[in-house]
Amino acid sequence: MFLIESQVYHNYYDILLKIMLNTVTKHNIKTFTERIEQYKTYELTIGEKYLIKKYFDKSGGKILVLGCGAGRTLIPLQKMGYQVTGIDMTPKMVKVAQEKVKGLPVKVLEMDACQLDFPKNSFDIIFFPANGMSCIYPDIFKCISEAQRVMQPQGLFVFSTHSRFNLKALPRFFEGPYANYKGFILYRSTPLDWLKLKKYFQKIKIIPYSSIECPWKKADWKDVIHKLLPFFDRATYYICIGKK
């Protein structure tokens, strides 16, 4: 009797989880689609330029851009000499990106970052820009596991997320790991995520947004806290090198 009740409970839980997943994913895709005009720029951000210059392989190589959106990062990366593949699960974003890179040696595919249709060890670099990892629901580590699978043994995985300990948003800490932010249902990372990442990668470096965007000479007391304690910043970059 207990086994039957337990099985019924698990079946109910699985169904409920699928409904939640489908609802949140559809919500985020709908929001991205409605705001598509905001994502058509070609420029890299200050943080992205810094990360590419400091950590990306200077000799080029194969790079996979997760959540490429309307293709903002694809052309700049291709011009730097990388063999670029971009994926996104928002159909209209994919169409815009494909049109943008037409005539260039860049691939853009409609694909879920949690179910990558690539063989093991396919890419030198995996890049998830613009806090895109925060849109993964309900488990960012499904995406992280897939990224680790398709990257080279000594490859690089770079992504960023919003922070749950953001000093400016501490009152929202108790909303849980996911919260509604500017119309999106987004994940906010904690130090526990850094510990979990050690299961997948040989070396992990954490860089707060403020340490790139605000030099020490111009830093106020909040910026200093962010630099010393990355998880209190509004968002955090994760540099993951070499897979286990």
pLDDT, tens only, 45-89: 999 999 999 999 988 899 999 999 999 999 999 999 999 999 999
At residue 32, the pLDDT reads: 63
Using only the alpha carbons of the chain, give its radius of gyration.
19
* CB neighbours of residue 100 within 10 Å: 18
What are the structural domain ranges in the chain?
2-243
pLDDT, tens only, 165-221: 877 766 666 667 776 667 677 788 888 999 999 999 999 999 988 888 777 777 777
Cα–chain-centroid distance for residue 214? 22
pLDDT, tens only, 146-167: 999 999 999 999 999 988 887 7
What percent of the chain lies above the pLDDT cut of 70?
80
- The H or E element containing residue 64 is strand 61-65
Name 175's Cβ contacts closer than 8 Å, sequence gap at least 6.
Answer: none
- Identify the CATH assignment for 2-243 out of 3.40.50.1970, 3.40.50.150, 3.40.1050.10, 3.40.50.1100: 3.40.50.150
Q: Phi/psi at 72 (nearest 5 deg)?
A: -55, -40
For the cut 90, the answer to whether the pLDDT of residue 127 exceeds it is yes
For the cut 80, the answer to whether the pLDDT of residue 121 exceeds it is yes
Report the distance separating Cα 130 and Cα 113, nearest Å: 15
User: Helix 91-100 to helix 2-34 angle, to the nearest 10 degrees?
Assistant: 40
* CB neighbours of residue 238 within 10 Å: 22
